[in-house]
Chain A
Amino acid sequence: KAGVTQTPRYLIKTRGQQVTLSCSPISGHRSVSWYQQTPGQGLQFLFEYFSETQRNKGNFPGRFSGRQFSNSRSEMNVSTLELGDSALYLCASSPPGGGQGYEQYFGPGTRLTVT
């Protein structure tokens, strides 16, 4: 079974631009979560989607948004990029139903650099 895939793997953007990151979960997984990892803050939860609905959202500004498609693939978008958005963005999927502490499987991440 293929693992979680994320594209692109690396991105360089300038301040003020917007960016879209993509995540394809493990086949059959319906829950997709997004996390931001920075040296200072560590790993922080952005949001989680299940069956095309956002079930939970972390404490991030509205510039961070996401969506999930009917095939469970997910995208996250960051508008009006700031230097502080430079981070490794990780996507995780979990088995059907998600929630209740099912094991999370992470992708390789997208390294975003904002200049």
Chain B
Amino acid sequence: KQEVTQIPAALSVPEGENLVLNCSFTDSAIYNLQWFRQDPGKGLTSLLLIQSSQREQTSGRLNASLDKSSGRSTLYIAASQPGDSATYLCAVYIGGSEKLVFGKGTKLTVNP
């Protein structure tokens, strides 16, 4: 059974800091990995999708890496801003089924 873990559960940083969010998964047989952002009481916004054949993806100040062999992904946020405050969720797409398995998320607070 695929399990996804995100560490830390919560993170508070001052504005301008670079930070890394971690995601680990137990089964390396994944099709892809997707990072999402969720604001309180809202739906999920897709940030980055990394296909299983890729090692990383970049979008603006965000960079996500994927190491299938070690079952790890990281989301790097450069020059953090208060508007980045949200919960960040990592999800893996399981081969052979049509579903995402989610981690519990990392709640990020960026202080002005």
Contact = CB atoms under 8 A, between A and B. Distances in A.
Contacts of B45: 106
Interface string A79-115: 0000000001010100000111101111111010000
Chain B contact residues: helix, strand, loop or mixed: strand
B42 A98 contact: no
Name the interface size band of chain B: 20 to 34
A56 B98 contact: yes
Name the interface size band of chain A: 20 to 34
Interface stretch (B15-23, B68-76, B78-86, B99-107): B99-107
A42 interface: yes
Contacts of B105: 42
Contacts of B104: 42
A100 B52 CA distance: 10
Interface of A: 4, 6, 31, 33, 35, 42-45, 48, 50, 55-56, 58, 88, 90, 92, 98-101, 103-109, 111
